[in-house]
Amino acid sequence: MQKRPGYLAGILGRGFGTMMTNRERLLAVLKGEPVDRVPIWLLFPYHPVDYYVDVRRHPGYRRVFEASKKYAVMLNRRNLRVPVFTEDVVYEEITTESDPKTRWKRWRYRSLELTSSEILEAGGGKGKQLLSSGDDLEVLAQFPINTDRESIQAILDRQLPRYLDEKREFPEEYGAMMLDLGEPIGFLYHNSDLEEYAVWSLTHNDLVKKVLDRLMEQKRIIYQYCLERDLADVYFMVGSELASPPLVSPQTFREWIVSYAKELVDLVHSYGKYVIMHYHGFIKTILPYFLEMGPDALHTIEAPPVGDCTLTEAYSIVGDRIALIGNIQYDCFRSYTLEEMDRAVQEVIEEAKGKRFILSPTAGPYDGNVDDRVIANYLQFLKSGWEYGTL
């Protein structure tokens, strides 16, 4: 998607007679157009998801949610899921009562079998990943992945009414619907022993790419389904951090991530929609690859010691071609005084001044066990972001 040149010049040259809405700010930054103030994003969606606290109902976060209506943009992140395998693959779960108590998961296709296990007792040790060896990877390559368009559409059709209800319930002025549909690498990463996974980049690279190619066939159909039905304005892609240095080499990052992500980004852009990519950790050496993939925005840039790249360094690479999103560490909401939070927000806004930027934490609220300090720091974050974010 083409960005308007001279982002800073546009900001300086445009007067704002009326205040923009949070939705207008979001879309303007994603388009590369000027805004009246820095948008703020707290990452949590309007409707609940299983990986974040339900902020609308949590007794502490409810105050943050109410304040966010005024100060922050809300991206209502939703997940539509399609089983990876065809119905020919039989799945079953078995829980053993032996010591330690263990849940086994088994996938069978004809004479082939893959298993994983989960220890259900505290202190019981680690279970077995589905893909724990090169042999397991070779078995996976023989399992049939569901790439039948009619079957996939039927699965998505069953999820569509609930999604459309949520889309109608979501107040559009808060922001935008955002779909997280996954990338080919997701299944492989989340089901692999990571030591083996890293070794496969050297020993089984062609086989991994064969599996990723098949998974990509399914992703194309899922993305097209959603785009053709105009289900969301924004698409969230989290695969890039799942196969990157130092776990694997930059060349592997290019082969396992870049080519697939670029195709999906181009597909989303062809429908006039936007892409936000997510990446935690050391990014400096591979940041030029994000220019190749071409998202509209990138969350999050982490300075040392957590990451290896400051916002200033990142902007020196991406210029105004990608909006950057960040960057107050999640743990700072637990540890900062209000004065420290205020100063941190002021500093990060100053560092990104005149650039395409959205202020945010590095992570969403995944811990429901929060004290008053966390809630107070969220409220201070919003207040300071609003105060210092005027352009």
CB distance 170 to 177 below 8 Å: yes
Predicted confidence band at 3 (pLDDT cuts at 50, 70, 90)? very low
Question: Quick one: pLDDT at residue 212?
Answer: 98
Question: Quick one: pLDDT at residue 8?
Answer: 55
pLDDT in tens, 158-177: 999 999 999 999 999 999 99
Predicted confidence band at 87 (pLDDT cuts at 50, 70, 90)? very high
Residue range 220-246: mean pLDDT, rounded? 97
- pLDDT at residue 229 tops 60: yes
Question: Quick one: pLDDT at residue 122?
Answer: 73
Predicted confidence band at 98 (pLDDT cuts at 50, 70, 90)? confident
CB distance 374 to 364 below 8 Å: no
**To the nearest whole number, what is the mean pLDDT of the chain?**
94
Q: How far is CA 104 from CA 92, 108, 114, 127, 312, in A?
A: 8, 13, 11, 9, 48
Residue range 219-245: mean pLDDT, rounded? 97
The span from the CA of 349 to the CA of 32, in Å, is 17
pLDDT in tens, 311-321: 999 999 999 99
Which is higher by pLDDT, 281 or 114? 114
pTM equals 0.93
The span from the CA of 367 to the CA of 361, in Å, is 14
pLDDT in tens, 6-54: 555 555 445 555 889 999 999 999 999 999 999 999 999 999 999 999 9
pLDDT in tens, 345-379: 999 999 999 999 999 999 999 999 999 999 999 99
Give me the CATH code for the 7-82+145-183+214-388 domain, please: 3.20.20.210
pLDDT in tens, 284-335: 999 999 999 999 999 999 999 999 999 999 999 999 999 999 999 999 999 9
For the chain, give every domain's residue range.
Answer: 7-82+145-183+214-388, 90-139
> Distance between the two ends of the chain, CA-based, in angstroms?
25
What are the helix and strand counts (H, E) for the chain?
Answer: 15, 10
CB distance 172 to 107 below 8 Å: no
Question: Quick one: pLDDT at residue 1?
Answer: 47
Question: Quick one: pLDDT at residue 371?
Answer: 93
The span from the CA of 381 to the CA of 265, in Å, is 31
CB distance 23 to 173 below 8 Å: yes
